[in-house]
């Protein structure tokens, strides 16, 4: 079965919801593990990588925890488009998408546990949850890890904990992260302050696709940097606490913008609606930044009963691989063609959204004034 048949459609994937999902798009906990007896993938010969692959793939596939219906495949069997779709769904890293023979992926039916074999480490396994659910994600991946330890022996020392290719992941091998939508803090020009404060707590703030990527569409990723010297639970709880604070700041920023500058907010939201509904060529960068304001409008009730899943779907379907997938020819589109096709998709979808209703923002202030 192709991964494209295995994955639920973008519209369905965006229906997943969780606590605080107006601001927290998703939570993720990733663990890095290595086999004790085989060199790390980055330094191993092809035969050694294959050995690790042949040890780990069956072990992961046989985990009852993942359910019976799983997708498991070697990376060289996946076409480039399929790999890119997996990256856009945040199921694999961009680095893993570049891998071929000797690397693999195992994904469960719910699409919330994904294991990469032979990425930078022999195993990179992650649990994903919609909204703010770091604890749940940690418990899920902890269980997978424990079950795997009954089947294979991981590199571990009492002193350094789980050994990883890069010393930055040493010890727990844990990376706890959440994807945040923070248009309020960006508009209020408070985002840099927040990023600096979060950095001071030893947490990293990155863009949409992790390390070295731009914060497109006001989406930021917050994650821990330190992995050694602290129990996993402490790391999870600390990030959880920081995230709750960021959520509060974002909510306050939105409220104060509504109070003080409703026209500025309406201007951003209205223009986003106008451009997305009427453009004939649009880059992914421009699209994502506008969809961010559309989502903010939905959050603030400017678009009636429009669900946020619709804007999330636009966001996902604006990405290159998802666009190509939706194209009738499924051929590789040039970037100009892509911009045309993206604009078409966005026009059609935005037409389903009612015109912005300013009363949702102004109503409270002008109560009693004539219509």
Partner 1 sequence: MVCQFCKLKEATVHVTEIADNKVKKVDACAACAKEKNYNDPAAFAIADHLLGLGAAQKMEEASEAVGTLSCDQCGYTQADFKKSGRLGCAHCYDIFSDGLDSVLKTMHKDIRHRGKVPAGMQSALAGAHRLQSLNRDLQVAIAQEDFESAARLRDEIKAFKAAE
Binding footprint of partner 1 on the chain (CB under 8 A): 34, 36-40, 42-44, 120, 142, 145-146, 149-150, 153-163, 165-168, 170-172, 174, 202, 225-232
CB 81 within 8 Å of CB 324: yes
Closer to partner 1 by Cβ: residue 42 or 193:
42
Closer to partner 1 by Cβ: residue 155 or 198:
155
Beta bridge partners of 180: 24, 220
Closer to partner 1 by Cβ: residue 18 or 161:
161
CB 82 within 8 Å of CB 3: yes
Helix (H, G, I), strand (E, B) or coil at 73: strand
Least Cα distance to 106 among 143, 149, 63 occurs for: 63
Least Cα distance to 101 among 57, 164, 35, 36 occurs for: 57
Rounded CA separation 107/113 (Å): 6
Residue 161 C-beta: closest distance to partner 1, Å:
3
Residues contacting 81, CB < 8 A, separation 6+: 321, 324, 325, 330, 332
Residue 141 C-beta: closest distance to partner 1, Å:
11
Residue 103 C-beta: closest distance to partner 1, Å:
17
Residue corresponding to tokens 């991946």: 141
Give me 336's structure tokens: 């100009």
Closer to partner 1 by Cβ: residue 88 or 120:
120
Order the strands of the 113-117 sheet from edge to edge.
70-74, 104-108, 113-117, 123-130, 24-33, 174-181, 219-224, 203-206
Closer to partner 1 by Cβ: residue 113 or 152:
152
Residue 323 C-beta: closest distance to partner 1, Å:
33
Residue 28 C-beta: closest distance to partner 1, Å:
18
Residue 169 C-beta: closest distance to partner 1, Å:
10
Least Cα distance to 153 among 122, 125, 176 occurs for: 122
Residue 241 C-beta: closest distance to partner 1, Å:
16
Closer to partner 1 by Cβ: residue 76 or 160:
160
Closer to partner 1 by Cβ: residue 12 or 234:
234
Task: Give DSSP secondary structure letters for 260-304.
Answer: H-HHHHHHHHHHHHHHHHH-S---HHHHHHHHHHHHHHHHTTTTT
Closer to partner 1 by Cβ: residue 67 or 167:
167
Residue 2 C-beta: closest distance to partner 1, Å:
33
CA contacts within 13 A on the Cβ side of 177: 22
């Amino acid at each position: 079965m192709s991964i494209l048949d295995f994955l639920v459609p973008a519209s369905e994937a965006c229906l997943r919801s969780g606590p605080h999902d107006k601001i927290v798009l998703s939570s993720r906990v990733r663990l890095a593990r290595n086999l004790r007896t085989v060199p790390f993938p980055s330094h191993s010969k092809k035969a050694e990588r294959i050995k690790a692959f042949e040890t780990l793939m069956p072990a992961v596939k046989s985990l009852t925890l993942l359910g019976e219906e799983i997708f498991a495949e070697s990376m060289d069997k996946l076409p480039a488009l399929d790999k890119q779709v997996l990256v856009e769904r945040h199921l694999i890293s961009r680095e893993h998408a570049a891998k071929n023979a000797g690397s693999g992926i195992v994904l469960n039916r719910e699409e919330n546990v994904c294991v990469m074999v032979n990425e930078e480490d022999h195993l990179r396994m992650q649990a994903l949850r919609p909204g703010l659910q770091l604890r749940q994600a940690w418990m899920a991946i902890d269980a997978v890890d424990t079950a795997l330890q009954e089947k294979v022996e991981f590199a571990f020392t009492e002193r350094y904990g789980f050994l990883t290719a890069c010393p930055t992941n040493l010890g727990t091998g844990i990376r706890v992260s959440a994807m945040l939508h923070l248009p309020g803090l960006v508009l209020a020009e408070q985002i840099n302050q927040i990023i600096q404060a979060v950095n001071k707590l030893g947490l990293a703030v990155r863009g949409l696709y992790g390390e070295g990527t731009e914060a497109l569409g006001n989406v930021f990723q917050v994650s821990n940097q330190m992995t050694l010297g602290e129990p996993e639970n402490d790391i999870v709880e600390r990030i959880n606490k920081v995230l709750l604070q960021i959520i509060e700041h974002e909510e306050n920023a939105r409220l104060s913008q509504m109070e003080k500058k409703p026209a500025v907010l309406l201007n951003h939201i209205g223009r986003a609606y106008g451009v997305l509904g009427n453009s004939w060529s649009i880059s992914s960068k421009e699209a994502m930044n506008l969809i961010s304001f559309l989502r903010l409008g939905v959050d603030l009730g400017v678009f009636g009963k429009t669900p946020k899943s619709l804007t999330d779907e636009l966001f996902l379907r604006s990405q290159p691989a998802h666009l190509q997938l939706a194209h009738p020819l499924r051929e590789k589109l040039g970037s100009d063609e892509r911009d045309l096709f993206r604009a078409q998709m966005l026009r059609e979808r935005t037409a389903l959204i009612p015109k912005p209703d300013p009363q949702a923002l102004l109503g409270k202030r002008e109560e009693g004034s004539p219509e």
